[in-house]
Amino acid sequence: MKKIKTNIIIKFAAWMLLSFFTLTFFLCVAGIAVLVHMGAYWDGGRSLRDAAIEQVYSFDQVRIRYILNEYCNGTITDDTEYREMYNPEKSNVFFVIKDKDGNVVVDFGSEDEYQAKYDYDVTHTIKEGAISEEKEFATLEEAKAYVAELEEQYYITVWTYSETTKEFAVTYNEMETYTVSAYVRKSLTAEDRYYYVLNAVDLVVSMRYWIILIVAASFILNILIMIFLCSSAGYKKASAEHKLSFVHRIPFDVYLAFCSFAASLLLLVFYEMSRGDEYEWFTVVMFVMICTCCSLLLASAVVTLSARIKGGKWWKNTFIYRALCIIKKFFVLCFRGIKYVFKNLPLIWQALAVLLVLKVAEFAFLVSGYSAFAYFWLCEFAISIWVVIYIAIALRKLQKAAKEMAGGSLDYRADLAHMPKILREHGENLNNIGEGLKTALSERIKSEHMKAELITNVSHDIKTPLTSIVNYVGLLKKDGLESSSAPEYLEVLERQAAKLKKLTEDLIDASKATSGCIKVNAEPMDINVLLSQASGEYEGKFSQKELVPVLSLCEENPQIFADGGLVWRVFDNLFNNICKYSQKGTRVYLKSEMRAEKVVISFSNISEAQLDISSEELMERFVRGDSSRNTEGSGLGLSIARSLVELQGGTFDIKIDGDLFKVEVVFDIIK
């Protein structure tokens, strides 16, 4: 089916068939109209035959008048040519012309039977002996009435009338009247116009009922062809996909205007040509051709509309839509400009602008002298009073809110219902100030609490190794370096000194990461490679803790723009935490995946201790997963990791679900 829709030859053939069946349809409709008008369905075509004979006889009528003039003027010396022309073998017409006294002037008669007879009078102007008259008439109307009387008996050559002198002059010729008796043979002996026309009429009459079936069949075939053309519109042979051609890309309203103009032009030509035409048959043929052309124009409009509808949003490809869009943009820009200017004016200037508009309106009513000025002033006064009360109530609400907040009621909020927009914005700002003050106070209290907790934690973490160092130095002094316990004391001193050093270094790193003093040397890197290497480095530690790493890498091999050393430090901190706090014999899930042009690296493990702390608190400094603080570490790892990730433009998030601990590190990928 697609091959048929995209075949240009089949489409061209469909258009040809559509043209043929459309012409057939209108021809048959015109035929039915003529048959009904002439009563052919009731009298067997007798009236239609008579009308056809009369129409054809009009040609002979002109010729007979010409022959009469030739005889009357005496220009014919030998009528052999005319007699040959009206020989029964060449013409089915014979006629006799008599003068007013009944004398035969022209005799082309016959004794044959006839099927139509025409008797009528013909006048002949005598050119010799022109008569001239001169008269006086008081008015032009009297002169015209006299000319009308003369025209009943004479041929007026010329007449004149002078309005100033009232003189009238006329020249006319005498006319002779002749009677023509013309006949059309019953038995058509010659193959002339009568023969062909009457045979055609007989054929049409004999097929008068078949024509109705032809009309129905041609109409149905036209519908089927139109369905095919509409369904195949917009498909090309080069591609089975829908694609608009040049014709279908013409603005649809321009296309319709062209079709309407062409149809109007055809109808105008038909009107001008048929208005003075004396041959009805020619008018009917012209009407059929015009209707066929207009129908094909309408069909082309329907087909191109079908193609455009398939393409979607067909109305956008119209000149009117584009013009309306331009007009809309113009008015939108004007409105936005006015709104921007008005919005950025201070409140007092906005009030003055509104007041100025009202006063200009008052002045216009006053100058015009309309009695409606009093009604306008009363309406304006009533509206002004209502607006003043409305604004005063809103200002009172804002005043009360400011007073409550100034008195220390930070939870109080101004009621913003039924306020003008500009005052409502001011009320929202006032409420935001209260919320901000409340938040700042809460943050200040929290900061003081954290500061006290920080001092406590730092003091505890520093005091513990220092106490051990002081105690074991005292023991060394007491027992001496030669005692058997000296190596054990030195080992404890070394361990506590290393712990104190690590705590100091973590404090320095946390301070640098938070302040952004660490230099970032960003470059493209493959996150899958770095995650695989880090997992391999910690394989031994995972084995010691009986942890089973499950590595899942995305297939796209995403590239990120980051500092490899800093990313390694983040992974190192996270892997250390996993080794310290994971439940033995559990799985550790390491995963990289793509989400909306970002790469997400996730670390999931089951915590050994119960997690009774929120994810936000875990990322604070000196906070550990175990509240007893029995495990080693400073509690700065997650805080440092988050700061390092944010320094490189990424995000760091912790999710806790029961004993499941999950960290997600997100970076933008390189496009």
Torsion angle, CA of 222/228/230/236, rounded to 10 degrees? -140
pLDDT band at 365 (very low <50, low <70, confident <90, very high): low
Q: Is residue 640 part of a domain?
A: yes
Tokens standing for residue 391:
């604004």
Q: Is the pLDDT of residue 620 over 70?
A: no
The DSSP-derived string for 111-142 is -S-EEEEEEEEEEEE--SS-EEEEEE-SSHHH
Q: What does the pLDDT read at residue 588?
A: 92
Count of C-beta atoms within a 10 Å radius of residue 199: 12
Instruction: Please write the tens of the pLDDT for every residue from 445-455.
Output: 766 665 565 55
Q: Is the pLDDT of residue 237 over 80?
A: no
pLDDT band at 527 (very low <50, low <70, confident <90, very high): confident
Angle of the 8-37 helix axis to the 208-232 helix axis, nearest 10: 150
CA distance 174 to 224: 68
The DSSP-derived string for 476-487 is HHHH-TTSTTHH
Q: Is residue 24 part of a domain?
A: yes
CA distance 334 to 637: 57
Residue range 215-231: mean pLDDT, rounded: 87
Q: Is residue 255 part of a domain?
A: no
Whether 534 and 590 map to the same domain: the answer is: yes
Residue finishing a domain among 468, 490, 516: 516
Torsion angle, CA of 255/257/260/265, rounded to 10 degrees? -110
Please report the sign of the dihedral spanned by the C-alpha atoms of residue 141, residue 146, residue 148, residue 149.
positive
If phi over 0 gives left and psi between -120 and 50 gives alpha, with beta otherwise, what is residue 277?
A: beta
Which of 55-64, 210-219, 240-249, 307-316 comes out lowest in average pLDDT?
A: 240-249
Q: What does the pLDDT read at residue 320?
A: 84
Residue range 400-425: mean pLDDT, rounded: 73
Checking DSSP bridges between strand 104-108 and strand 93-98, what pairing results, if any?
A: antiparallel
SS (H, E, C) 594-640: ECCCEEEEEEEEEECCCCCCCHHHHCCCCCCCCCCCCCCCCCCHHHH
Q: Of 528, 510, 533, 524, nearest to 622 (Cα)?
A: 510
Residues 6+ positions from 585 with CB-CB distance below 8 Å: 546, 547
CA separation, residue 457 to residues 162, 452, 461, 623 (Å) = 134, 9, 6, 9
| Percent of the chain scoring above 90 in pLDDT | 5
Q: Of 477, 402, 1, nearest to 235 (Cα)?
A: 1
Q: Is the pLDDT of residue 136 over 70?
A: yes
Q: Is the pLDDT of residue 602 over 70?
A: yes
Q: Of 285, 209, 294, nearest to 27 (Cα)?
A: 285
Tell which wins on pLDDT, 481 or 458: 481
Most distant pair of Cα atoms in the chain: their distance: 180
pLDDT band at 372 (very low <50, low <70, confident <90, very high): low
Q: What does the pLDDT read at residue 603?
A: 92
Tokens standing for residue 213:
């079936």
Q: What is the DSSP letter of 503?
A: H
Q: Is residue 619 part of a domain?
A: yes
Whether 19 and 154 map to the same domain: the answer is: no
Whether 136 and 218 map to the same domain: the answer is: no
Identify the burial level of 362 via C-beta atoms within 10 angstroms of its C-beta, where 0-12 means exposed, 13-18 middle and 19 or more buried. Answer: middle
Checking DSSP bridges between strand 104-108 and strand 154-161, what pairing results, if any?
A: unpaired
Instruction: Please write the tens of the pLDDT for every residue from 319-346.
Output: 888 888 889 888 888 888 777 666 655 6
Q: Is residue 280 part of a domain?
A: no
CA distance 171 to 179: 26
- The single residue listed with the structure tokens 């915590």 is 607
CATH number at residue 498: 1.10.287.130
Instruction: Please write the tens of the pLDDT for every residue from 654-664.
Output: 888 888 889 99
Residue 616's φ and ψ, nearest 5 degrees, are -65, -40
Q: What does the pLDDT read at residue 323?
A: 86
Q: Is 561 helix (H, G, I), strand (E, B) or coil?
A: strand
Whether 534 and 632 map to the same domain: the answer is: yes
Residue 555's φ and ψ, nearest 5 degrees, are -75, -15
Which of 19-28, 378-387, 422-431, 500-509 comes out lowest in average pLDDT?
A: 500-509
Q: Is residue 543 part of a domain?
A: yes
Mean pLDDT of the chain: 78
Q: Is residue 341 part of a domain?
A: no
The DSSP-derived string for 485-496 is THHHHHHHHHHH
User: What are the start-end ranges of the H helices in 240-346?
Assistant: 246-249, 252-275, 280-311, 319-344
Q: Is the pLDDT of residue 623 over 60?
A: no
Q: Of 500, 496, 506, nearest to 462 (Cα)?
A: 500
Q: Is the pLDDT of residue 627 over 50?
A: no
pLDDT band at 272 (very low <50, low <70, confident <90, very high): low
Tell which wins on pLDDT, 218 or 273: 218
Q: Is residue 269 part of a domain?
A: no
Q: What does the pLDDT read at residue 630?
A: 47
Whether 523 and 487 map to the same domain: the answer is: no
User: What are the start-end ranges of the H helices in 312-420?
Assistant: 319-344, 347-368, 373-406
Q: Is the pLDDT of residue 625 over 50?
A: no
Host domain of residue 505: 443-516
Tell which wins on pLDDT, 137 or 238: 137
Q: Of 88, 46, 92, 60, nearest to 201 (Cα)?
A: 46
| Percent of the chain scoring above 70 in pLDDT | 77
Q: What does the pLDDT read at residue 573?
A: 84
Whether 502 and 526 map to the same domain: the answer is: no
Whether 511 and 546 map to the same domain: the answer is: no
User: Which residue type sits at 406?
Assistant: A
Identify the burial level of 638 via C-beta atoms within 10 angstroms of its C-beta, where 0-12 means exposed, 13-18 middle and 19 or more buried. Answer: buried
Q: Is 671 helix (H, G, I), strand (E, B) or coil?
A: coil
Residues 6+ positions from 545 with CB-CB distance below 8 Å: 579, 582, 584
Q: What does the pLDDT read at residue 242?
A: 58
Q: Of 182, 175, 187, nearest to 63 (Cα)?
A: 182
Tokens standing for residue 232:
């195949």
Tokens standing for residue 241:
């996909």
Q: What does the pLDDT read at residue 447?
A: 62
Contact 205, 45 (CB under 8 A): yes
Residue 118's φ and ψ, nearest 5 degrees, are -130, 115
Which of 126-140, 416-430, 524-538, 601-615 comes out lowest in average pLDDT?
A: 416-430
**Exposure b/e, 527-555, CB count within 10 A at least 16 = b:** bbebbeebbeebeeebeebebebeeebbe
Whether 469 and 523 map to the same domain: the answer is: no
Residue finishing a domain among 516, 540, 556: 516
Contact 376, 398 (CB under 8 A): no
Q: Is the pLDDT of residue 646 over 70?
A: yes
Q: Is 88 helix (H, G, I), strand (E, B) or coil?
A: coil
Q: What does the pLDDT read at residue 274?
A: 63
CA distance 595 to 117: 99
User: What are the start-end ranges of the H helices in 38-130?
Assistant: 40-43, 46-73, 80-85
Residue finishing a domain among 213, 232, 251: 232
Whether 193 and 175 map to the same domain: the answer is: no
CATH number at residue 558: 3.30.565.10
| The total number of structural domains that make up the chain | 4
Which of 101-115, 383-397, 569-583 comes out lowest in average pLDDT?
A: 383-397
Residues 6+ positions from 621 with CB-CB distance below 8 Å: 454, 510, 635, 636, 639
Whether 542 and 617 map to the same domain: the answer is: yes
Q: Is the pLDDT of residue 626 over 50?
A: no
Count of C-beta atoms within a 10 Å radius of residue 52: 21
Instruction: Please write the tens of the pLDDT for every residue from 3-29.
Output: 666 677 888 888 888 889 888 888 888
Residue range 430-441: mean pLDDT, rounded: 73
Beta-bridge partner residues of 155: 173
Q: Is 411 helix (H, G, I), strand (E, B) or coil?
A: coil
Q: Is the pLDDT of residue 278 over 60?
A: no
Q: Of 92, 104, 106, 87, nearest to 59 (Cα)?
A: 92
Whether 504 and 565 map to the same domain: the answer is: no
Residue range 415-419: mean pLDDT, rounded: 73
Whether 524 and 649 map to the same domain: the answer is: yes
Tokens standing for residue 3:
């091959």
Beta-bridge partner residues of 168: 135, 161
Q: What does the pLDDT read at residue 440?
A: 73
